[in-house]
Amino acid sequence: MSVTSLPVALPQPGGSTLPARRKSPVSFFEFWPGWLFYAPVVAFWVLKSIRYGSLTLPTLANPRINAGGICGESKNAILDLAGPVARVWVAPYAPLTTSGHNDGNDLALALAAMARAGLTFPLVAKPDMSCNGVGVRLVRDEAQLAAYLAAFPRATDLQLQALVTHEGEAGIFYIRHPGEAAGRITSVTLKFPPTVIGDGKRDVRALITADSRLNAVAKLLLPKLGAKAGQVPAEGEAVRLVFVGNHCRGSTFKDGLDIVTPVLAARIDEIMQDMPEVYFTRLDLRYESMDSLREGRNFTIIEFNGSGSEATHIWDPEMTLRAAYATQFFHYGEAFKIGAVIRKRGLRPAGLLKLASLWRYQKRLMAAYPAND
């Protein structure tokens, strides 16, 4: 049985549990084709564009982020916005740009950048411009880092970041309108990466098949596992099947908004107040335990996302389609409202041609990144 099974409760770091309302390995729309699921969202966006007179107004929702973070934003540049209060909660990182020629100098540059940032192995290497965990890899030593850099596109930015070992993973959506004294948490997603528990008899492939949730997402898992699928874990051994806790890689996402306490809300607001003009974002973080997260302590932020952020709790297997669309409409509606306020200050939203150019550039880069873990 894997830790992602949902018969009674989901295990939490620190020993607490999150009750599961009913056994449901996937929602009926969870793996619809993107064009089908997002068609109503696109229609909603167009209607809002007519209402506000701009198709790209949400690019102003985070004025200091390129295109507001709809696409083509820099992870390094966003983290660089953090002031002294916010930076305490952010995983240490080092920006790096690969050389124009694969001449072997990248490793020396990377090691120097690590030294300046106080980073040691193991660490996480990731593209500076990407989404859905594309190109993210756990790097354990110099040899693995050298291999990653050699496979990375030339003259392209990336990020080396400290490996955060907290077990819990979450995405917290935060919205604050310009001029408001405090913002609010509008969504919490608790993430459970696909994991199997060995019995000393069955191989990883068989353990996946025996688990209702993992079997439902086996087509996402097995192609990446390779020889690992045939290994037989020892009894009680936990085997995490992917490194990046991403829904499109088979992780289980659960709606966790009910874990928010006044203390946690105040802590997130304190952090975001020190992220200048970041009004609409999802913080991706790792936490030590559910109790400590509720108490607003012992968590580390991996990255901040922009106007293209999604309230990912909609991928909870028990989410209804109606609630999912209501969530999408609410959040993107807020992005338009914030953009409208910023526009009144005299700023202009990014043009459609710029967005299209950024999207094409990001898509081209993502196709060239090394395979993620």
Cβ atoms of residues 290 and 16 within 8 Å: yes
CB-based burial label for 223 (10 Å; 0-12, 13-18, 19+): exposed
Does the pLDDT of residue 148 top 90, yes or no? Answer: yes
Task: Identify the burial level of 338 via C-beta atoms within 10 angstroms of its C-beta, where 0-12 means exposed, 13-18 middle and 19 or more buried.
Answer: buried
**Of 11-15, 265-269, 322-326, where does mean pLDDT reach its minimum?**
11-15
Record: fold of 93-163: Dna Ligase; domain 1 (3.30.1490)
> Which neighbouring-strand residues pair with 11?
17
Per-residue model confidence as pLDDT tens digits over 131-145: 988 999 999 999 999
In the numeric block, the tokens 């952090």 are attached to 271
Instruction: Compute the distance between CA of residue 117 and CA of residue 94 in angstroms, rounded to an integer.
Output: 6
Name the residue type at position 228.
Answer: K
Per-residue pLDDT at 23: 65
The pLDDT of residue 7 is above 50: no
Q: How far is CA 246 from CA 12, 209, 251, 284, 287, in A?
A: 17, 20, 6, 11, 16
pLDDT per residue over 78-103, tens digit each?
999 999 999 999 999 999 999 998 88
* Domain-wise residue ranges, the chain: 1-91+166-367, 93-163
Evaluate if residue 211 carries a pLDDT over 60. yes
Q: What is the 3-state secondary structure (H, E, C) of 227-243?
A: HHHHCCCCCCCEEECCC
Whether residue 240 contacts residue 250, with contact meaning beta carbons closer than 8 Å, is answered with: no
pLDDT value, residue 12: 54
Residue pLDDT, tens place only, 62-71: 999 999 999 9
Question: Which stretches within the chain are classed as H helix?
Answer: 34-52, 75-80, 84-87, 106-117, 142-151, 204-210, 212-216, 218-225, 262-273, 290-294, 321-343, 352-368
**CA angle, residues 31, 32, 38, in degrees to nearest 5:** 120
